């Protein structure tokens, strides 16, 4: 490895990891930092990362691997249940918004930047993607309505797939046009690629499911992630060899199949892939950002910024409203989707890949690369700045009291508490013991059977909308450990731990800033379970003015039963409450 290559890769790794950490800390899409680092350290800035000289054509396979990782991970994250509920709106977003956006982008790039029609069409195809990595960062920073999260997730992933496949077709048309006549067979290629991608992806998903099932018997949680990572890359390659550009569809189909069939094993697979993706993709996109030199076409930047503004501020909202007109999606949700449409990593990957395949068209590809970077930066910054205030303004932000609650620990008291909570907000159980998991499932609760101390579980729960946790095991130390682990993945103030018993030593000393003590420092889980099992106490809903002496309020029901607030010491009980009440002892007469 030459000194230039070692310097470029080493610096890109360091900058990529730094960008990723900052993005997670401040919940800002990482691609914004990748672009800035590439610009500052690339030829337009300090000139310390010279991608083309250091790596050359070797970056093209790296781009393809990155696309495979992103799309496979996205497939693992999709909710099939969400699609069933919103399939009409999702279909409209994909088949109306994408063509309108792509067509407008092609027109704008041809007439404003002056690139030929074939290149303009290629640009229109690649810029339609919003990107699951960018949307994922936004959804982690703001709790939106379930429908809105579903629509944004599905559009971002399948938009990437459609964008990659159609841009590959447009790229093939450009390559053929340079050496011959464009035939109808080029367009039939898209249909054949879709069929091949679905078949290979489904077959690969079935095979990987059996591999994961076998690996789970070895009791090594890392093996499933490694196997699926390798399998995804293999499927991407095999499908692409059968029909060119069908690989993206194959890995998404495989990921969705695993998500549907592998249950809790998907959590470990996704966690492993996220770590790999974080390192590999962050490095690669610093390199790709440094590959673009805006100084070479500085005179076009005012025009390119105008294109970026028109696409984001006019075309995107209009396309979304056209697509969702007449659907059940509210006007506020349409405006949010229309304004929040950040372009992602796959767009710049596709543009960079094309630049390596078309060395004979340097000017056109420089324009496309710079235009892509401008749109990504503009849309990413706008989405980051607007996602939270716009959600509040349009009233599509879910208040904390309406988010799902994850209950840790299955016992008589916690199951009865969850039953009452579930009448108002989503509730799920987290348990480690298989018999406890079976019991809660049999009683109709959504149950996650996994290691309570695994950070993956809380990351996944937060992603599924369970942004609050209450630990109600009969072990103080376990409640505190769970609270410590969950607090790093959930917003401050959303983690509660119950007191298991009186006069028990705790792990946390001093002021507890990690989690609130649930309910009251006079409520002890072991005592409550014992009394409820004996029929001496019960949980019920009652009004605050009906509280009896000894009643302990556990939660307050708000907004006409549509939200719940877990109570803690210092909060004044009011309105309708879920209470722990002891039965009054009957007086008995003693006859002599």
pLDDT at 300: 92
Residue 206 sits in the same domain as residue 285? yes
Tokens of residue 11, six digits: 């610096």
**pLDDT value at residue 589:** 43
Average pLDDT over residues 339-366: 84
Mean pLDDT of 392-408: 85
169 shares its domain with 271: yes
Please report, for the domain that includes residue 211, its CATH number.
1.20.1530.20
Whether residue 370 is found in the same domain as residue 456? no
Please state, in angstroms and as integers, the Cα–Cα distance from residue 560 to each residue in 115, 423, 493, following that order: 58, 12, 23
Mean pLDDT value across residues 551-566 = 84
Name the β-bridge partners of 316.
none
pLDDT of residue 57 exceeding 80, the answer is no
Region 88-116: what's the mean pLDDT?
93
Long-range contacts of 354-357 (CB under 8 A, 24+ apart): 354/122, 354/126, 354/167, 354/171, 355/291, 356/57, 356/59, 356/60, 357/60, 357/171, 357/175
What is the structure's pLDDT at 296? 87
pLDDT at 336: 95
pLDDT at 37 over 50: yes
28 within domain boundaries: yes
- The proportion of the chain whose per-residue pLDDT surpasses 90, expressed as a percent, equals 26
Position 119 pLDDT exceeds 60: yes
pTM: 0.75
- Which pLDDT value is given to residue 308? 93
> Final residue of a domain: which of 336, 368, 393?
393
Quickly count: other Cβ atoms within 10 Å of residue 214's Cβ: 12
Nearest residue to 193 via CA among 244, 158, 125, 252: 244
Q: Is the pLDDT of residue 452 over 60?
A: yes
Give domain status of residue 591, yes or no: no
User: Taking 60 as the threshold, does the pLDDT of residue 162 lie above it?
Assistant: yes
On whether residue 184 sits in a domain, the answer given is yes
In a domain, 349, yes or no: yes
Q: Is residue 436 part of a domain?
A: yes
Q: What does the pLDDT read at residue 437?
A: 85
Mean pLDDT over 137-152 rounds to 82
d(CA 502, CA 521): 9
Average pLDDT for residues 277-282, to the nearest whole number? Answer: 79
When the pLDDT of each residue in the chain is averaged and rounded to a whole number, the result is 83
- Do residues 445 and 382 both lie within one domain? no
pLDDT band at 266 (very low <50, low <70, confident <90, very high): low
302 and 319 housed in the same domain: yes
413 and 320 within one domain? no
**347 and 411 share one domain:** no
Q: Looking at the domain assignment, is residue 590 inside a domain?
A: no
Q: Tell me the CATH number at 497.
A: 3.40.50.720
Q: What is the pLDDT of residues 488-526, one digit of tens each?
A: 677 667 889 999 887 554 554 444 456 788 898 889 999
* 137 belongs to a structural domain: yes
Give whole-number Cα distances, 505 to 85, 290, 305, 483, 519, in Å: 48, 55, 61, 16, 19
Q: Which of 345, 367, 393 is the last residue of a domain?
A: 393
Count of residues making up the chain = 592
Task: Quote the pLDDT of residue 306.
Answer: 94
Confidence tier at 257 by pLDDT (50, 70, 90): confident
Residue 94, domain extent: 3-393
Same domain, 426 and 382: no
Residues 376 and 405 both lie in one domain:
no
Q: Select from 237, 256, 255 the least CA-distant residue to 247.
A: 237
Helix (H) or strand (E) holding 408: strand 405-408
Q: Are residues 382 and 417 in the same domain?
A: no
Query: Where does a domain end: 331, 363, 393?
Result: 393
For the cut 70, the answer to whether the pLDDT of residue 471 exceeds it is yes
The pLDDT of 278-296, averaged and rounded, is 85
Q: Is residue 475 domain-shared with residue 428, that is, in the same domain?
A: yes
Residue 473, domain member (yes or no): yes
Residues 190 and 300 reside in one and the same domain? yes
The structural domain count of the chain equals: 2
The pLDDT-based confidence of 592 (bands split at 50, 70, 90) is very low
Give the pLDDT band (50/70/90) at residue 3. low
Q: Residue 511's pLDDT is what?
A: 42
CB count in 10 Å sphere of residue 183? 9
Q: What is the pLDDT of residue 590?
A: 43
Higher pLDDT among residues 68 and 109, named by residue: 109
- The pLDDT confidence band at residue 80, using thresholds 50, 70 and 90, is low
- Please state, in angstroms and as integers, the Cα–Cα distance from residue 579 to each residue in 6, 498, 573, 576, following that order: 64, 15, 10, 9
């Amino acid at each position: 490895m030459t000194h230039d290559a070692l310097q470029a890769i080493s610096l890109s790794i360091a900058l990529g990891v730094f960008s990723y950490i900052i993005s997670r800390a401040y919940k800002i899409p990482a691609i914004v930092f990748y672009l800035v680092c590439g610009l500052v350290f690339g030829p337009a800035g300090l000139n310390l990362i010279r991608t083309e000289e250091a790596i050359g054509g070797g970056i093209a396979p790296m781009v393809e691997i990155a696309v495979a990782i992103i799309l496979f991970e996205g497939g693992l994250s999709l909710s099939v249940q969400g699609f069933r509920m919103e399939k009409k709106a999702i279909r409209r977003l994909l088949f109306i918004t994408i063509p309108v956006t792509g067509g407008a982008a092609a027109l704008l790039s041809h007439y404003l930047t002056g690139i030929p029609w074939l290149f303009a069409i290629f640009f229109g195809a690649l810029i339609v993607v919003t990107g699951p990595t960018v949307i994922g960062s936004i959804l982690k920073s703001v709790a939106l309505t379930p429908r809105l999260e579903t629509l944004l997730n599905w559009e971002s992933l399948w938009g990437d797939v459609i964008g990659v496949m159609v841009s590959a077709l447009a790229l093939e048309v450009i390559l053929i046009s340079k050496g011959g006549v464009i035939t109808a067979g080029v367009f039939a290629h898209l249909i054949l690629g879709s069929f091949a991608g679905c078949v290979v992806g489904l077959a690969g998903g079935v095979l990987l499911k059996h591999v994961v099932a076998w690996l789970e018997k070895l009791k090594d949680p890392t093996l499933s992630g490694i196997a699926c990572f390798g399998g995804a890359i293999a499927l991407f390659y095999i499908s692409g060899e059968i029909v060119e550009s069908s690989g993206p569809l194959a890995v998404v189909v495989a990921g969705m199949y695993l998500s549907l069939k592998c249950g809790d094993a998907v959590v470990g697979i996704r966690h492993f892939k996220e770590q790999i993706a974080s390192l590999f993709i962050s490095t690669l996109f610093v390199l790709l950002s440094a590959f673009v030199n805006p100084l070479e076409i500085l005179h076009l930047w005012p025009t390119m910024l105008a294109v970026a503004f028109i696409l984001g501020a006019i075309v995107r909202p209009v396309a979304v409203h056209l697509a969702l007109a007449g659907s059940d999606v509210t006007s506020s949700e349409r405006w949010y989707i229309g304004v929040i449409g950040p372009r992602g990593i796959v767009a710049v990957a596709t543009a960079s890949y094309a630049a390596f395949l078309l060395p004979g068209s340097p000017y056109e590809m420089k324009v496309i690369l710079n235009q892509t970077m401008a749109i990504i930066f503009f849309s990413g910054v706008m989405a980051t700045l607007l996602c939270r205030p716009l959600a509040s303004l349009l009233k599509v932000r879910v208040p904390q009291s309406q988010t799902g609650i994850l209950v840790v620990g299955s016992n008589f008291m916690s199951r009865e508490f969850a039953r009452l909570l579930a009448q108002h907000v989503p509730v799920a159980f987290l348990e480690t013991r298989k018999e406890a998991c079976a019991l809660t499932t049999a009683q109709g609760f959504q149950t996650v059977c996994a290691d309570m101390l695994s950070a993956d579980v809380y990351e996944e729960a937060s992603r599924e909308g369970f942004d609050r946790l209450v630990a109600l095991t009969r072990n103080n130390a376990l409640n505190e450990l769970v609270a410590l682990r969950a607090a790093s993945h959930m917003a401050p103030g959303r983690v509660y731990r119950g007191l298991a018993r009186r006069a028990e030593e705790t792990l946390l000393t001093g002021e507890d800033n990690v989690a609130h003590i649930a309910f009251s420092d006079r409520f002890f889980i072991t005592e409550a379970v014992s009394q409820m099992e004996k029929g001496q106490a019960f949980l019920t809903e009652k009004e605050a003015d009906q509280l009896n002496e000894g009643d302990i309020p556990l939660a307050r029901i708000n907004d006409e039963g549509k939200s719940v607030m877990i109570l803690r010491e210092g909060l004044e009980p009011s309105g309708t409450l879920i209470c722990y009440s002891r039965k009054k002892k009957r007086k008995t007469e003693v006859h002599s």
